[in-house]
Homo-oligomer: A and B are copies of this chain.
Amino acid sequence: MVIGAGPAGENVVDRAVRGGLSAAIVESELAGGECSYWACIPSKALLRPVELHAAAERVPGLSVGRIDAAAVLARRDEAVSNYDDGGQAKWIASVPATLVRGKARLDGPKRVAVGDRVLVARHAVVLGTGTGALIPDVPGLAEAKPWTNREATGVKSVPRRLVVLGGGVVACEMGQALHALGATETTLLVRGGSLLPRNEPFAGEAVEKALRESGIDVRLRADVTRVERPVEGGPVTVHLGDGSTVEADEILVATGRTPNTTGIGLPSVGLPEGKYVEVDDSLRAKDVPEGWLYVVGDANGRNLLTHMGKYQARVCGDVIVARARGDKEDDGPWSSLRAGADGRGAPQVVFTDPQVAAAGLTAAQARERGHTIRVVEYELPSVSGAYLRADGPGKASAVVDEDRRVLLGVTFVGSEVAELLHAGTVAVTAEVPLERLWHAVPSYPTVSEVWLRLLEAYGL
């Protein structure tokens, strides 16, 4: 029994059924989840034309007119299947698994109530309920009916004046997309001193520079004290600690996430509500006896990223099958029954222009964990491939574990660096020794040649 038909929940079902079990999955909204309708998919559909427009403007010989926002929004609608989950429901049926529509709540061990029905799981219950947007406790903010990632990615009419609270991925991505699509007056109010604070500092700096150069007003260390929207649908005024105000047509809140673990019956199995549910590397809830409850994806708080949720789901599905069969649980470091990659620093791409693509640990995180490290860096415009693509500015860095001579982390910032990342994810996750990486020759003239430059910079 899986609660929540997002990408994580769906992958559990897929693996469990492949392993010979039967599965049901309960969803109260759209099968496919947050990612498919209100996050990854629509945001990237909005960002791609913006990025391509910038790329075409950089290379001599092409002339691109203005972006046709209506066409972009229409493509977004296509990308989210017009918010119709028929295709997903069909996929679930094809697994085959049972899709139960409704709001599920735990009702004691292995029991899931949906409306009047109580379903009892034979082997396991898996929570994949995800997270929702966190609305910070600022006077007047909730009353102002702010946009979250849902309204921003689902935009029908782009506001001329937009104010964004936040400086993380959603704030940067949606601030840039909406600005390019018509929000000519866009302001980012960032509480901290930098954008994208979980990445290497140069990442946030590069994105900040790009946002500013495009005309977005980025205000760091902004102390939002109060929000006013006297007339519903009318302009919104944000008051800052320094006495200044920002007026806009819409306000987007992108200040973090909160787990969807309230109202799903967690107290019936002895767990608190409204918190991330802690799990072990087999995705089993730590504080539930007899090990029948698993949590995958955002709701366990390990890595709030679709691909890591799906990774956990594959592990979780396989674990449930192995336990149902009474198979030996392999606990070696590379076992497929262990979500070991969760701890190494998940790969992530921020689809702004410039993009930020990083895997593993930042230098600061590596030092915090006590590693002896050396950091090497290289400017992307010095790579022939980046020049030939007519890329904008960019930089790559690698964090080397000096004791073991493996990479602990890599970061790429620049035009369309997304696909450069997987080589880093492989090198970091699989702990490929530098001596072997030295023989993995990047093809010339790709941008990936920066891999050679990083190793040369290290002294190989």
Which residues of A line the B interface, CB within 8 A?
7, 35, 40-41, 44-45, 48-49, 52-53, 55-56, 59-65, 67-69, 71-72, 74-75, 79, 305-308, 310-311, 334, 336, 340-341, 346-349, 357, 359, 384-385, 387-390, 416-423, 425-427, 429-433, 435-449, 451, 460
Known contacts A390-B48, A419-B419, A422-B423: A439-B40 contact under CB 8 Å: no
Contact with A62, one of B67, B442, B444 (Cβ below 8 angstroms): B67
Residue of B nearest to A438 (CB): B336
Chain B residues whose CB sits within 8 angstroms of the CB of A425 once the complex forms: 423, 440-443
Chain B residues whose CB sits within 8 angstroms of the CB of A41 once the complex forms: 384, 388, 445
Residue of B nearest to A310 (CB): B444
Contact with A49, one of B61, B347, B429, B444 (Cβ below 8 angstroms): B61
Report the minimum CB–CB distance from A220 to chain B (whole Å): 27
For the A-B complex with A63-B64, A63-B68, A416-B419 known, give 4 more contacts whose Cβ atoms are closer than 8 Å: A62-B67, A62-B68, A422-B442, A430-B432
* Cα–Cα distance between A67 and B56 once the two chains are bound (Å): 11
* Cα–Cα distance between A447 and B421 once the two chains are bound (Å): 11
Chain B residues whose CB sits within 8 angstroms of the CB of A341 once the complex forms: 439-441
Closest 9 CB pairs of A and B: A430-B436, A307-B444, A61-B72, A422-B448, A422-B423, A61-B71, A419-B419, A49-B61, A429-B440
* Cα–Cα distance between A53 and B389 once the two chains are bound (Å): 12
Report the minimum CB–CB distance from A358 to chain B (whole Å): 9
24 A-B pairs with C-beta separation under 8 A? A49-B60, A52-B55, A60-B71, A60-B72, A61-B72, A61-B75, A62-B65, A305-B444, A334-B433, A334-B435, A334-B439, A341-B440, A347-B441, A347-B443, A349-B443, A349-B446, A416-B419, A417-B419, A418-B447, A420-B422, A425-B440, A425-B441, A430-B432, A432-B432
Known contacts A334-B435, A420-B419: A440-B448 contact under CB 8 Å: no
Chain B residues whose CB sits within 8 angstroms of the CB of A55 once the complex forms: 52, 55
Residue of B nearest to A432 (CB): B430
Chain B residues whose CB sits within 8 angstroms of the CB of A359 once the complex forms: 443
* Cα–Cα distance between A404 and B451 once the two chains are bound (Å): 27
Residue of B nearest to A359 (CB): B443
Chain B residues whose CB sits within 8 angstroms of the CB of A451 once the complex forms: 422
* Cα–Cα distance between A420 and B40 once the two chains are bound (Å): 20
Chain B residues whose CB sits within 8 angstroms of the CB of A433 once the complex forms: 334, 430
Chain B residues whose CB sits within 8 angstroms of the CB of A64 once the complex forms: 56, 62-64
Chain B residues whose CB sits within 8 angstroms of the CB of A416 once the complex forms: 416, 419
Q: Is the CB of A422 within 8 A of B440?
A: yes
Contact with A421, one of B308, B310, B390, B443 (Cβ below 8 angstroms): B443
Q: Is the CB of B60 within 8 A of A444?
A: no
Chain B residues whose CB sits within 8 angstroms of the CB of A49 once the complex forms: 59-62
Chain B residues whose CB sits within 8 angstroms of the CB of A61 once the complex forms: 49, 67-69, 71-72, 75
Q: Is the CB of A442 within 8 A of B307?
A: yes
Q: Is the CB of A418 within 8 A of B436?
A: no
Known contacts A49-B62, A62-B49, A307-B442: A426-B429 contact under CB 8 Å: no
Chain B residues whose CB sits within 8 angstroms of the CB of A45 once the complex forms: 388
Residue of B nearest to A35 (CB): B444
Q: Is the CB of A60 within 8 A of B40?
A: no
* Cα–Cα distance between A454 and B180 once the two chains are bound (Å): 36
Which one of A59, A308, A310, A336 has the highest number of Cβ atoms from chain B below 10 Å of its Cβ?
A59
Q: Is the CB of A445 within 8 A of B40?
A: yes
Chain B residues whose CB sits within 8 angstroms of the CB of A69 once the complex forms: 61
